[in-house]
Amino acid sequence: MSDTALEVAAAVRAGERKAREVVEEHLGAIETGDGALHAFNHVMADEALAAADKVDAEVASGDVPGTLAGVPVVLKDNLCTRGVPTTCSSRILEGWRPPYTATVVERVVAAGGIPIGKTNLDEFAMGSSTENSAFGATRNPHDPARVPGGSSGGSAAAVAVGFAPLGLGSDTGGSVRQPASLCGVVGVKPTYGVVSRYGLIAFASSLDQIGPFARTVDDAALLLEVIAGNDPMDSTSIASPAPQLRGVLDDGVDGLRIGLVEELTDAEGVQPEVAAAVDDAARGLEKAGATVERISVPSASYGISAYYLIAPAEASSNLARYDGVRYGLRVDGEDAATMNARTRDAGFGPEVKRRIMLGTYALSAGYYDAYYGQAQRVRTLIIRDFNRAYDTFDALISPTSPTTAFELGAKTADPLAMYLSDVCTVPSNLAGHAAMSVPFGKAEDGLPIGVQVLAPALGEPVMFRVANVIEHAAPETAVPA
Amino acid sequence: MDARITRADVEHVAHLARLALTDEEIGDLTGQLGTILEHATQVSALDTGEVAPTAHPLPMMNVFRGDDPRPCLDRDEVLTEAPAAEDGRFRVPRILGEAP
| pLDDT in the model for residue A477 | 75
The nearest CA of chain B is from the CA of A297 a distance in Å of 14
Question: Does ipTM exceed 0.85?
Answer: yes
B71 touches chain A (CB under 8 A): no
Per annotation, catalytic residue among A18, A76, A189, A411? A76
pLDDT band of residue B93 (cuts 50, 70, 90) is: very high
Domain spans in chain A, listed from the N-terminal domain onward: 1-481
| pLDDT in the model for residue A1 | 54
pLDDT, average across residues B70-98:
91
Q: Report the alpha-carbon distance of residue A180 to residue A175 in Å, rounded.
A: 9
Q: Does domain A1-481 have CATH number 3.90.1300.10?
A: yes
**Is A133 part of the annotated catalytic residue set?**
no
Q: Closest to B65 (Cβ–Cβ): which among A232, A306, A340?
A: A232
Mean pLDDT of chain B: 89
Query: Contacts of residue A411 in chain B, CB cutoff 8 Å?
Result: none
| pLDDT in the model for residue B63 | 83
Query: Contacts of residue B1 in chain A, CB cutoff 8 Å?
Result: 370
| Best residue in B9, B18, B51 for a mutation probing chain A (most A CBs within 10 Å) | B18
Per annotation, catalytic residue among A128, A129, A155, A175? A175
DSSP string, B53-80: P-SSSS----------------HHHHHH
The nearest CA of chain B is from the CA of A170 a distance in Å of 17
Q: Which chain B residue has its CA at the smallest distance from A432's CA? A: B57
| pLDDT in the model for residue B98 | 58
B61 touches chain A (CB under 8 A): no
Q: Report the alpha-carbon distance of residue A481 to residue A216 in Å, rounded.
A: 19
Q: Are A125 and A203 in contact (CB under 8 A)?
A: yes
- Contact across the interface for A371 and B37, Cβ inside 8 Å: yes
Q: How far is CA A120 from CA A135, A179, A266, A303, in A?
A: 8, 12, 32, 27
Q: Report the alpha-carbon distance of residue A175 to residue A23 in Å, rounded.
A: 27
* Phi, psi dihedrals of residue A423, rounded to the nearest 5°: -60, -35
pLDDT of B1 above 50? no
Digit-coded pLDDT (tens) for B31-73 = 999 999 988 888 888 888 889 999 888 877 788 888 999 999 9
Q: Closest to A335 (Cβ–Cβ): which among B53, B63, B95?
A: B95
The nearest CA of chain B is from the CA of A82 a distance in Å of 10
| pLDDT in the model for residue A476 | 81
Q: How far is CA A148 from CA A132, A144, A158, A220, in A?
A: 12, 9, 10, 19
B2 touches chain A (CB under 8 A): no
* All residues at 6 or more sequence positions from B23 whose CB lies less than 8 Å from its CB, including other chains: none
Domain spans in chain B, listed from the N-terminal domain onward: 7-45
| Helix (H/G/I), strand (E/B), else coil: B28 | helix
Query: Contacts of residue B14 in chain A, CB cutoff 8 Å?
Result: 357
Query: Contacts of residue A326 in chain B, CB cutoff 8 Å?
Result: 78, 82, 90
**Is A118 part of the annotated catalytic residue set?**
no
Q: Which CATH architecture has domain B7-45?
A: Orthogonal Bundle (1.10)
Query: Contacts of residue A339 in chain B, CB cutoff 8 Å?
Result: 92-93
Strands A72-76 and A40-43: unpaired
The nearest CA of chain B is from the CA of A255 a distance in Å of 29
Digit-coded pLDDT (tens) for A387-419 = 999 999 999 999 999 999 999 999 999 998 999
Of the CA atoms within 13 Å of residue A351, those in its CB half-sphere come to 27
**Is A152 part of the annotated catalytic residue set?**
no
Query: Contacts of residue A351 in chain B, CB cutoff 8 Å?
Result: none
- Give the rounded distance of the alpha carbon of A224 from its chain centre: 12
- Contact across the interface for A305 and B51, Cβ inside 8 Å: no
Which residues of chain A register pLDDT less than 50?
none
| pLDDT in the model for residue B45 | 80
Q: What is the CA radius of gyration of chain B?
A: 23
Residues 23..52 of B with a Cβ closer than 8 Å to A: which? 25, 28-29, 32-33, 35-37, 39-46, 48, 51-52
Q: Report the alpha-carbon distance of residue A270 to residue A58 in Å, rounded.
A: 50
